[in-house]
Amino acid sequence: MTALTKLEIEQRLLRLPEWEYYDNAIHAEFEFENFKDCFSAMSRIAFECEALNHHPEWTNEYNVLKITLTTHDAGSVTDKDFKLALAIEHIVEEEED
């Protein structure tokens, strides 16, 4: 999997306004109503990670979920990170309703 260029990453991020690029990774922070909604989203994201065989670095504190996506094999951001980021966006949007 080839690392994307800075320009390619910035172009893709236009469709993902919640996400930022720095330190060779893309990062987002999501706030939910409560811990239950947050953890429910995390469970659904976990299944997606297994399906895509791509895994986040993440932390959860009460209702806040912080996610960092990078491709360790490539040492930077690849298409896999954007596939997972898009899946996460869909899940978070549903959980917020």
Question: Which of 73, 93, 94, 96 is the binder for ligand H2B (CB under 6 A)?
Answer: 73
Query: For residue 24, which of 74, 59, 60, 67 has the smallest C-alpha distance?
Result: 74
List residues bridging with 18 in a β-sheet: none
Does 76 help bind ligand H2B (rule: CB under 6 A)? no
Does 83 help bind ligand H2B (rule: CB under 6 A)? no
Judged by beta carbon, residue 41 or residue 81, the one nearer ligand H2B is 81
The burial class, CB within 10 Å (0-12 / 13-18 / 19+), for 30 is: buried
Question: Which of 55, 60, 66, 83 is the binder for ligand H2B (CB under 6 A)?
Answer: 55
